[in-house]
């Protein structure tokens, strides 16, 4: 007798395409990430904002930035809402401008060196990978948070060029700063981020390193899109 074979239906979970854009501050990764995400209609993860929010929350609560356990606990329980567009609420308050201050960037870089803080933020970052896709901006997106991402970009630019870009951006916002001071802060943060023991800022082995010093944002974007085509991601 012919026995009807049992048919087992295997439901493949749709895998979420992820493009990671890592690199130092001022390399243009934030702008490229938001342009790409909005052109594709994909989700966006600004992972640096999570470290900045943690630093700000610690300062608001009088928690010392070198108290790894207390800062990690705070990171695990952050009350944050990302509102489509530009809004970020921390404990119900708008903090978009507060978290962009240089002092908060340096504070974020200090607490980001703690393994317990990074571990506390890991699942929250991975939860951003939702269909139709994610563009993730940070330092360790391609190495630690999304190691299986099909497209990984590591964007660099000279420290002088990055300081100049930041200077012009702040001037445009009516903020008075010295170019020399900005350059010092950038170099200090690069050193902290690149030399820490956990998840240092380095390109993943399979990342494309793009130097944006002489490129416009549109040129960088075009290179990223080329890479996505090459990898069959779009």
Q: Does 143 bind ligand C5P (CB under 6 A)?
A: no
Restricting to residues 89-118, which ones interact with ligand C5P according to CB under 6 A?
105, 108-109, 112
CB 33 within 8 A of CB 46: yes
CB 221 within 8 A of CB 32: yes
Q: How many CB atoms lie within 10 A of CB 139?
A: 26
Residue nearest to ligand C5P (CB): 48
Q: How far apart are CB 11 and ligand C5P at their closest, in Å? A: 32
d(CA 53, CA 50): 5
CB 6 within 8 A of CB 134: no
| DSSP-derived 3-state class of residue 76 | helix
Q: Which is nearer to ligand C5P, 139 or 152 (CB)?
A: 139
Q: Tokens 């007798």 appear where?
A: 1
Stretch that binds ligand C5P, among 7-15, 47-55, 68-76, 164-172 (CB under 6 A): 47-55
Q: Does 25 bind ligand C5P (CB under 6 A)?
A: yes
Q: Tokens 């950038």 appear where?
A: 186
Find the angle CA(138)-CA(95)-CA(130) to the nearest 5 degrees. Answer: 45
Number of residues that bind ligand C5P (CB under 6 A): 15
Q: Does 152 bind ligand C5P (CB under 6 A)?
A: no
d(CA 185, CA 135): 27
Q: How many CB atoms lie within 10 A of CB 13?
A: 5
Q: Which is nearer to ligand C5P, 48 or 133 (CB)?
A: 48
- The DSSP-derived string for 99-145 is HTSHHHHHHHHHHTT-HHHHHHHHHHHHTT--TT-EEEEESSIIIII
Q: How far apart are CB 46 and ligand C5P at their closest, in Å? A: 7
Q: Does 142 bind ligand C5P (CB under 6 A)?
A: no
d(CA 30, CA 21): 8
Q: Which is nearer to ligand C5P, 118 or 224 (CB)?
A: 118
Q: Does 52 bind ligand C5P (CB under 6 A)?
A: yes
Q: Does 138 bind ligand C5P (CB under 6 A)?
A: yes
Q: How far apart are CB 53 and ligand C5P at their closest, in Å? A: 10
Select from 18, 140, 153, 210 the one that contacts ligand C5P (CB under 6 A): 140
Stretch that binds ligand C5P, among 3-11, 67-75, 133-141, 176-184 (CB under 6 A): 133-141
Select from 37, 44, 51, 53 the one that contacts ligand C5P (CB under 6 A): 51
By CB under 6 A, name the binding residues for ligand C5P: 25, 47-48, 51-52, 105, 108-109, 112, 138-141, 189, 193
């Amino acid at each position: 007798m012919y026995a009807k074979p049992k048919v087992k239906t295997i439901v493949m979970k749709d895998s979420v395409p992820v493009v990671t854009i890592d690199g130092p501050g001022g390399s243009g990764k934030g702008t490229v990430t938001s342009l790409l995400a909005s052109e594709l209609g994909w989700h966006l993860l600004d992972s640096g904002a999570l470290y900045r929010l943690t630093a700000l929350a610690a300062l608001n609560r009088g928690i010392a930035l070198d108290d790894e356990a207390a800062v990690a606990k705070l990171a695990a329980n952050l009350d944050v809402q990302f509102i489509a567009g530009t809004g970020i609420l921390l404990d119900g308050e708008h903090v978009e401008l507060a978290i962009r201050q240089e002092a908060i960037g340096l504070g974020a870089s200090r607490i980001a060196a703690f393994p317990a803080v990074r571990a506390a933020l890991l699942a929250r970052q991975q939860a951003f990978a939702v269909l139709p896709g994610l563009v993730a901006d940070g330092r360790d997106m391609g190495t630690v948070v999304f190691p299986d991402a099909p497209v990984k970009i590591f964007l660099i630019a000279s420290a002088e060029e990055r300081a100049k870009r930041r200077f012009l951006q702040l001037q445009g916002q009516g903020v008075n700063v010295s170019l020399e001071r900005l350059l010092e802060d950038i170099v200090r943060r690069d050193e902290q981020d690149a030399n820490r023991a956990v998840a240092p800022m380095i390109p993943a082995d399979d990342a494309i390193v793009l130097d944006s010093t002489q490129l416009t944002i549109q040129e960088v974007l075009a290179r990223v899109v080329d890479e996505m085509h090459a990898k069959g991601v779009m």
